Amino acid sequence: MKKYSLMVLLLLVGWMQMSAAVRLPNIIGSHMVLQQKSTVKIWGWAGPSEKVTIKTNWDTTSYQAITSNGAKWEASIKTPAAGGPYQITISASNTIVLEDVLIGEVWVCSGQSNMEWSGDQGLKETLDEAPNATNTSIRFFYVAKSTANFPQDNLEGKWMVCTPEEMKHFSAIGYFFGKNLNQTLHSPIGLINSNWGGTPAETWTPEYVINNDAIIKKGADSLNEAAWWPHKAAKAYNAMIYPLTNFSIAGVLWYQGESNTGTNFAYEKLFTGMIDAWRHHWNQNFPFYFVQIAPFTYGNQHVGALLREAQTKAANHSGTGMVVITDLIPDTTNIHPTRKIEVAKRLSDLALNKTYGLTSIACQSPIYQSSQIDKDKIIIQFNNVANGLIAKGPSITCFEIAGEDKIFYPAQAKIVGGTVVVSNKNIKNPLAVRFAFNNTDMPNLFNKEGLPVNLFRTDDWAVDTDPIKK
């Protein structure tokens, strides 16, 4: 009996020692990239009241943390300028050594399938690039698809060095964005891939954002169940974003919206509410750069244009930026445009200009500023046309004009300096202009830097969203 009791005691002591061992979340690991010239958090779990010591080999500072009665500990560590590889040693009743840690720029890549798309889906641009993709200065973290009813402490994933094989599985937009930054900034780049094809923005948004606004809630309640992705509020956020919010980042890339075309009326408030919530939980006012959805043959009139309009309004939100890609669409019947390299370049140009101060890089599409009725014409003014406008074709496409009957007709458009003059010989008293305001419009009007003019309308009239008759 005594022998049996001793065995139980030894097992119990062993179990207590194992359960008290210092542990780390998966986002903290060998091969990771930490944000440069920042105060970053290293955190994890250990026995209650246990002292945890963290040492790095980029300086001589020894950082201390005491584990709470909830078995959690956290330390704030100062990082140097970009460089590495470095080593981090974390010691308590056991020791963990993190190897091959780089210091650089960290970006989260999130959204739905157009952000997720990679060589796994047969994307030719990725497969062509793969043989040349060995780059130890670029690191990938894949967040596994998961959902949760409440915010989680940890997630499934692992930091990987960029190799031809690993690159094929990673977001194409994320990889090419990271490659551009790495080549221009000469800094290591960490890319966190957290996306899920088909998901509406609601599932990436904390539940309180949705429940505290009647318009957002109306949109969320109208979403339909799907077999391949979650649609309920916060399900992906709780499992795939919240566990990252202790990890310091440079910014976020976002490509999503196709699954919200039917709830376009709520998207601006939903999207900006989501951005604010992410920044709040990260405790960082990071830049948030996103891709406007592409022209596509949706089943209902104008729903794609209305979603792009909502995204345009959201781009006025502090610290955001939007890239327009209406000229990068080989086929409007394919919801996954294949020209990801150019989309990534527009995102990286935006980041290089706005975040990293390389202001000579053109990064913003012309945006509607104002209009003026002049007899039988309407004159349109734009922002971001300092060097003028150009049309790639014999005539400017995708302008419509309407008079008092509020019926829109194709319009003739002429570039005059930095403005466009719009008219239709049959409309003597025009009241409104729309540009590229159909689901599949791919206009040919650009600024001289080669960036497409964004869609707009000068009216606030009702827009037809009925099903398209075949």
pLDDT digits (tens, 9 = 90+) for 282-317: 999 999 999 999 999 999 999 999 999 999 999 999
Q: Stretch 236-265: mean pLDDT, rounded?
A: 98
Element spanning 343, H or E = helix 340-354
Do 257 and 202 touch, CB atoms closer than 8 A?
A: no
User: What value does the mean pLDDT of the chain take?
Assistant: 95
Do 157 and 141 touch, CB atoms closer than 8 A?
A: yes
Q: Which residues pair with 22 in a beta bridge?
A: none
DSSP of 359-408: TTS-----EEEEEEEETTEEEEEEES-TT-EEESSSS--SEEEE-TT--E
Q: How far apart are CA 194 and CA 234, in angstroms?
A: 14
Residue 18 scores a pLDDT above 60: no
266 sits in the region (left: phi over 0; alpha: psi -120 to 50; else beta) called alpha
Exposure string of 250-278, with b = 16+ CB inside 10 Å and e = fewer, is: bbbbbbbbbbbbbbbbbbbbbbbbbbbbb
Rounded (to 5) percent helix, strand, coil in the chain: 30, 30, 45
CATH 2.60.40 at 2-103, yes or no? yes
The four Cα atoms 305, 310, 315, 318 give a dihedral, to 10 degrees, of: 180
DSSP state of 101: E
Terminus-to-terminus CA distance in the chain, angstroms? 84
Question: If we measure between CA atoms, which residue out of 461, 319, 470, 443 comes closest to residue 382?
Answer: 443
Amino acid letter, 317: H
Copy the structure tokens of residue 302. 């104008």
Residue with tokens 């996103």: 290
What pLDDT shows up at residue 469?
83
State the CB neighbour count (10 A cutoff) for residue 124: 11
Copy the structure tokens of residue 26. 């998966």
Copy the structure tokens of residue 434. 């729309």
Decide: pTM greater than 0.85: yes
Task: Indicate the angle between helix axes 172-185 and 340-354, nearest 10 degrees.
Answer: 40
CATH 3.40.50.1110 in the chain, residue ranges? 104-354
What pLDDT shows up at residue 413?
98
What pLDDT shows up at residue 415?
97
Q: Stretch 5-33: mean pLDDT, rounded?
A: 69
The string of pLDDT tens digits covering residues 167-206 is: 999 999 999 999 999 999 999 999 999 999 999 999 999 9
Residue with tokens 């349109």: 380
Q: Stretch 113-118: mean pLDDT, rounded?
A: 97
CATH 2.60.40 in the chain, residue ranges? 2-103
Degrees, nearest 5: CA angle 398-446-417: 100
pLDDT band at 12 (very low <50, low <70, confident <90, very high): very low
Q: How far apart are CA 239 and CA 90, in angstroms?
A: 26
Residue 401 scores a pLDDT above 70: yes
State the CB neighbour count (10 A cutoff) for residue 161: 16
Copy the structure tokens of residue 394. 């014999």
The string of pLDDT tens digits covering residues 325-336 is: 999 999 999 999
Question: If we measure between CA atoms, which residue out of 189, 174, 180, 176 comes closest to residue 35?
Answer: 189
What pLDDT shows up at residue 10?
41
- For residue 2, what are the contacts with CB-CB under 8 A and spacing of at least 6? none
Percent of the chain whose predicted confidence (pLDDT) is above 90: 95
What pLDDT shows up at residue 5?
53
The string of pLDDT tens digits covering residues 256-265 is: 999 999 999 9
Distance of CA 11 to the CA centre of its chain: 48
Q: How far apart are CA 16 and CA 13, in angstroms?
A: 5
The string of pLDDT tens digits covering residues 20-74 is: 699 999 999 999 999 999 999 999 999 999 999 999 999 999 999 999 999 999 9
> Domain 104-354: which topology?
Rossmann fold (3.40.50)
DSSP of 157-214: --EEEE-HHHHHHS-HHHHHHHHHHHHHH---EEEEEEE-TT--GGGGS-HHHHHT-H
Q: How far apart are CA 308 and CA 293, in angstroms?
A: 6
